[in-house]
Structure 1
Amino acid sequence: MPLTPHTTAPNNSLISHPTSPSTIHDNSTSSQSTEPSPTNSNTSLTSPQPTSAPRDTPQIQTHDNSNSSQSIEPSPTNSNTSLTSPQPTSTSAPRDTPPLEHMSTASSELLRPITRSMHNIHKPNKKYMLVTKHPLPLSHEPTCVSQAMASPEWRAAMAAEFNALIQQGTWDLVPKNSAYNLIGCKWVFRVKRHPNGSIDRYKARLVAKGFHQRPGLDYDQTFSPVIKPSTVRLVLTLAIQQRWHIRQLDVNNAFLHGKLLETVYMQQPPGFVHPDYPDHVCRLKKSLYGLKQAPRAWFNTLRSFLLSYGFLNSKSDPSLFIYLKGDLKIYTLVYVDDILITGNNDQAIHKCISTLATVFSIKDLGSIHFFLGVEVIPTSQGLFLSQHKYIRDLLDRTKMADAKIVHSPMSTSTSLTQHNGASSVNITEYRSMIGSLQYLSMTRPDIAYTVNKLAQFMQHPSSIHFTALKRLLRYLKATIFHGLHLKRSSSNTLYAFSDADWAGNRDDYTSTSAHVTFYGGNPISWKSFKQKAVARSSTEAEYRALASASAEVLWLSSLLSELHVSVPTVPTIYCDNLGATYLTVNPVSHSRMKHIAIDIHFVRDHVHNNNIRVQHVSTKDQLADCLTKPLSRQRHQELRFKIGVSDGTPILRGRVKAT
């Protein structure tokens, strides 16, 4: 049917889609009507009325840029309908055929490919797909949030930590401001284990990225004391002698109890962003793990409570708190969130723990059994301190579990220097192993000298040094069940052995000093270190070592005095050098010793005031000899036993019943 005279065809450019030639689109945003009208044959573009058509006749849709909807159907009886734009040949097509893409020629736009980013569609990350399909074994610790989310155990640990943070009121959500020094945060995952290596629980901890903090802006003082290992061994010895019960406590989310003095802003935790305030940030009200001032804030909070309860803070060790009231004695030792408490009245200790639990979230672990990575095993004679699990893990990590064993930590025929051997070794691995061995020497004084010697080459280790390090690991494999045996004794004397290896260092000819201190027959402290100055004689080297041993003995005497423990005799320091022994009481050899006047007067004054006593001992009976140089197998094993290191295989296998 021809168009009416007053009707003009719309100026549309119709583009035929190659896959669907029967459908044509323009840039109209209005709806389209395809319902035919069977009665009206006068079709007008201003008010389109399409004529009826058979159901199998294809429809041709045209759209202009107006706001009206148009539908034109060809009449089966009239083929003279004309349009300004030519109509493509109509062919049949399925009803579900997609509409044709179109573009206005006036805009002269080209067809562009449709990408995923245009429709906010992202390709799945194969790394995360692998995590979802193959989650980590529960014995492994996740390294990222996506790995943890694949395990219900780790998800539960994260939720428990987050809920604890919310209950403690750790932060408030505030709008983000560009003026804030915003720090990040991350999740850290740890598998807590029993002493036998089995899994205890899964721990997820939210840690702030303290390295984003700025000094003077969101932190100031950061130092926080921890209990000294010597203090721990001394208190354990006193408890053994008095047959006191030693209780162990753990503070849940300890750092959350610390009060912040500075204003710190942090991002919301990954995986726990508030759905209503996704752009807000956390304004911390309490300290959080990872903050530079967090340990200090927690310690000050705990210290304030203990002082209000009636404890006295030790001046010799700030992490030791002493409660004295009449005959009642209670000792509390604090290492961050790990607490040991012992005394002569179990009922008073229980009351103290109950009061502590009303202020902090306390977990009572019962009798001491695993403290700072050291397994504490009660025996018929006292306590056995072992790190055999730590040694086993170290051997597995360094792939030395199947190595051949040796019976001394260091060869007597090898002289280690800065320049021997090739330097093609893994420096990071060498330093990591040295750090692990330094921690192990907390219960193994027999390896103190070897670790100190190998640590001197961490800057440029060579293949010779690495071989010596592996020998030490082989020795640890042979003595994996050795540990420190603290035995019950009626003696409460304090004494020490001091020794030096004159000019033993072949690089700069400095000497090595060493001392080991005993109380009640048990080793309390030991040290092996390189002297800072070159000694002109063996007497000078021995005297410098004697000054260091005197300082340690005087510190322990002060600590015992604060604990209200009396020492019946003057502490004695045994030295195998006659010249050094004479110098402590007589001003001899002044011309050769005047350059060490400070050390001379320090020791001599305390000897004169009867605070210490220096006595000569033969080299054969010098117990500190194993801390100054490598020894033969027989000599090393002899001194190892005398300084308290013994084989704990029967104890660890349960052959000795605890009393």
Structure 2
Amino acid sequence: MPAKLSDFVLDERVRYGNNRQEDGEDTEQNMNLLLAQDDDVPLSYQEAAKGNEWRKAMDSELESIEKNRVWVLTDAPWNQTPIGLKWLYKIKRDAKGKITRHKARLVAKGYVQQLGIDFEDTFAPVARMETIRLILALAGKMGWLVYHLDVKTAFLHGDLKETVYVKQPEGYERKGEEHKVYKLTKALYGLKQAPRCWNIKLNGVLKELGFKRCAHEQAVYVRVKGIDILILCVYVDDLLLTGNNQAEIDVFKEEMTNKFEMTDMGLLCYYLGIEVIQNEEGILIKQSAYAEKLLEVAGMKGCNETKVPMEAGLKLHKDDQGNEVDPTHYRRLVGSLRYLTHTRPDILYAVGYVSRFMQEPKESHMKAVKHLIRYIKGTTHYGIKYKRTGGGTLIGYSDSNFVTDSEDGRSTSGNVFFYNDCAVSWQSQKQKTVALSSCEAEFMAATLAACQAVWLHGLLEEITVKQQEIVTILVDNKSAIQLMKNPVFHGRSKHISPKYHFIRQCVDKNQVQVDFVSGNMQKADVLTKALPLIKFAEMRFMLGVEDLEGLKPYVS
């Protein structure tokens, strides 16, 4: 039977309610965890050794290391310098700020490692945000539950291929054998290759359990048994699990528990700073707690609100003659705003615009950033809803604003893709070459959208194990559409870089379909320029960004 919310909500309340309260993983608790300050965290082992709680935390960490057989005590090699170890400490708090747990982590000083000697490759794939949103949109449409699993001390499970020696941890040297070192058999936190070792280990285990790795997204796995399907999304040690059969989900949890020491977080409610609400309406995502933290960091919790993220027609310049501001603070604010765009496409253009002045920010640039933060103040609880109703098709919008930048003459491309009438992917990017006409600018923007469309279409077919309809890209420039479809117009496009002709190939191969949409219905318009108030409000509504304050999940 399909895993519907209405069928399992009572069971989930009983099975996971207590654990979620103990682990502090519901939405309200996580909001407070973001804002909690760890002023009492020790900075060295000498400070930590004075407290019994920290001593217990370090004992627990070493117990996990011994349990996983991470190292073997041996004589120090004459031809290799052992890597030092360091203790890191963190306080875990509940929603009221009360301390729930003291956590100690033993990490290696991986910065002293040398390529080719004690590590080779460090790359390990993690899921893209577009992928996570697409899976949530699919689960919301189908009425599937999405679960959150966590692998305890994940990196300690990765098998090392290189020979690595580490010193004995401070305060836990073996008596009479202080001159000896540990030879690692498995990865330790802090090593450059640790994430890759863990990913290889997890990949092998999942393949043993019958999962197939997606070619379009290396961090997503699918298992199909008849009509039953399980979808697993991996972000380091955090696993998102969904599917159409509750029994299969429970079986998988047991299988993973037999392989690793797992923490079952229950229904997904908080992930990578994103708050997730699962209820009868579908799946809702927002970053209210993160936005509140941003206001606190900026010192603007009591500021006045604005209605738009950027004033229409605002022009900033890199060579502004105004006074300079603290570049570190400016970059910190812009970086925080950039992460907020994971659930807020309405601010993406404004964030991208102020990002152009990171090198030498001036007062005028900081003023624009503060204006944007004031807009966040009035829209703290805004987010996106992945609803149950809809056609279940993938459709994209592509737009470009000709000559946005007055300094170098380059335009800005924007595209947004909707699955089941809900936004799952959005981009706003300054073009790399100067366009000679609006037609050329739209042509280059559509090529960027075509690349995203081909990838999303392939990924959607893999995770649904069904053939999907051709992706339609809607463009509001008829000349650009003719240029994409009709080779007679080749003379007009002979100066355009060959890579931008990729969309022609996609149209010829029937990979994408390009159609016309009027400018009033062009949903990507807000991603290419700053709009006046009324137009901006219309575009925000068309993107599906709305106020989600007060909406509650099933399991609280």
- Residue of structure 1 in register with 2:10 after alignment: none
Q: Which amino acid in the other structure matches residue 429 of structure 2?
A: F
Partner deviation per Cα, 1:459-489 (whole Å, 9 max, x = no partner): 2222211121122111111111111211112
- Whether 1:314 and 2:214 are equivalent positions in the alignment is yes
Q: Which amino acid in the other structure matches residue 431 of structure 1?
A: R
How far has the Cα of 1:326 moved from its partner? 1.4
The 3 A distance-change label for structure 1 pair 341 and 507 is same
How far has the Cα of 1:433 moved from its partner? 1.9
Contact 1:421 1:463 in 2 (8 A): no
- Residue of structure 2 in register with 1:579 after alignment: 479
Of the three residues 463, 473, 477, the one matched with 2:363 is 463
Matched ranges for 1:390-401 at <5 A: 390-401=290-301
The 3 A distance-change label for structure 1 pair 350 and 420 is same
- Residue of structure 2 in register with 1:557 after alignment: 457
- Residue of structure 2 in register with 1:533 after alignment: 433
Of the three residues 511, 516, 523, the one matched with 1:611 is 511
Partner deviation per Cα, 1:224-263 (whole Å, 9 max, x = no partner): 0001111111111221222222221000000000000001
Distance of 1:230 and 1:639 partners within structure 2:
20
Instruction: Report SS of the residue matched to 1:623.
Output: coil
Matched ranges for 1:69-468 at <5 A: 140-177=40-77, 179-192=79-92, 201-422=101-322, 424-468=324-368
Distance of 2:229 and 2:37 partners within structure 1:
47
Gaps of 5+ in 2: 1-35
Q: Which amino acid in the other structure matches residue 454 of structure 2?
A: L
The 3 A distance-change label for structure 1 pair 360 and 390 is same
The 3 A distance-change label for structure 1 pair 443 and 217 is same
How far has the Cα of 1:197 moved from its partner? 7.2
The 3 A distance-change label for structure 1 pair 626 and 235 is same
Contact 1:499 1:542 in 2 (8 A): yes
Contact 1:421 1:464 in 2 (8 A): no
Distance of 2:465 and 2:395 partners within structure 1:
15
Of the three residues 544, 548, 556, the one matched with 1:648 is 548
Report which of the two has the higher share of helix. Answer: 2
- Whether 1:625 and 2:525 are equivalent positions in the alignment is yes
Partner deviation per Cα, 1:80-115 (whole Å, 9 max, x = no partner): xxxxxxxxxxxxxxxxxxxxxxxxxxxxxxxxxxxx
Distance of 1:339 and 1:642 partners within structure 2:
32
Contact 1:454 1:465 in 2 (8 A): yes
The 3 A distance-change label for structure 1 pair 154 and 626 is farther
Distance of 1:302 and 1:235 partners within structure 2:
20
Distance of 1:189 and 1:352 partners within structure 2:
33
How far has the Cα of 1:168 moved from its partner? 1.4
Higher relative contact order (CA 8 A, sep 6+): 2
The 3 A distance-change label for structure 1 pair 168 and 330 is same
- Whether 1:510 and 2:410 are equivalent positions in the alignment is yes
Contact 1:420 1:462 in 2 (8 A): yes
- Percent identity (aligned): 39
How far has the Cα of 1:202 moved from its partner? 3.4
Partner deviation per Cα, 1:554-604 (whole Å, 9 max, x = no partner): 111111211235466432111111111111211244333112263454212
Distance of 1:565 and 1:492 partners within structure 2:
14
TM, length-normalised to structure 2: 0.89
Instruction: Report SS of the residue matched to 2:487.
Output: coil
Distance of 1:199 and 1:645 partners within structure 2:
36
- Residue of structure 2 in register with 1:570 after alignment: 470
Distance of 2:282 and 2:113 partners within structure 1:
47
Contact 1:501 1:513 in 2 (8 A): yes
Contact 2:390 2:421 in 1 (8 A): no
How far has the Cα of 1:379 moved from its partner? 3.0
Contact 1:515 1:549 in 2 (8 A): yes
Q: Which amino acid in the other structure matches residue 427 of structure 2?
A: K
Contact 1:570 1:610 in 2 (8 A): yes
Deviation larger for 148-157 or 553-562: 148-157
Distance of 1:181 and 1:342 partners within structure 2:
46
The 3 A distance-change label for structure 1 pair 632 and 293 is same
Distance of 1:191 and 1:482 partners within structure 2:
30
Instruction: Report SS of the residue matched to 1:583.
Output: helix
- Residue of structure 2 in register with 1:77 after alignment: none
The 3 A distance-change label for structure 1 pair 190 and 621 is farther
Instruction: Report SS of the residue matched to 1:563.
Output: helix
TM, length-normalised to structure 1: 0.75
Contact 2:483 2:490 in 1 (8 A): no
Paired residue total: 521
- Residue of structure 1 in register with 2:448 after alignment: 548
Distance of 1:166 and 1:441 partners within structure 2:
42
Partner deviation per Cα, 1:505-531 (whole Å, 9 max, x = no partner): 122111111100001011111111111
How far has the Cα of 1:176 moved from its partner? 3.1
- Residue of structure 2 in register with 1:71 after alignment: none
- Residue of structure 2 in register with 1:482 after alignment: 382
Instruction: Report SS of the residue matched to 2:162.
Output: strand
How far has the Cα of 1:413 moved from its partner? 4.3
Gaps of 5+ in 1: 1-135
Partner deviation per Cα, 1:179-223 (whole Å, 9 max, x = no partner): 323222222233445688776543322221111000000000111
Distance of 1:223 and 1:441 partners within structure 2:
25
Instruction: Report SS of the residue matched to 1:219.
Output: coil
Instruction: Report SS of the residue matched to 2:452.
Output: helix
The 3 A distance-change label for structure 1 pair 562 and 200 is farther
Q: Which amino acid in the other structure matches residue 471 of structure 2?
A: P
Contact 2:399 2:415 in 1 (8 A): yes
Contact 1:583 1:600 in 2 (8 A): no
Distance of 1:471 and 1:396 partners within structure 2:
15
Partner deviation per Cα, 1:150-186 (whole Å, 9 max, x = no partner): 4443333222212211221211222334532322222
- Residue of structure 1 in register with 2:534 after alignment: 634
Instruction: Report SS of the residue matched to 1:533.
Output: coil
Q: Which amino acid in the other structure matches residue 562 of structure 1?
A: E
Distance of 2:336 and 2:41 partners within structure 1:
19
Contact 1:165 1:256 in 2 (8 A): yes
Distance of 1:347 and 1:216 partners within structure 2:
46
Distance of 1:200 and 1:374 partners within structure 2:
22
How far has the Cα of 1:266 moved from its partner? 1.7
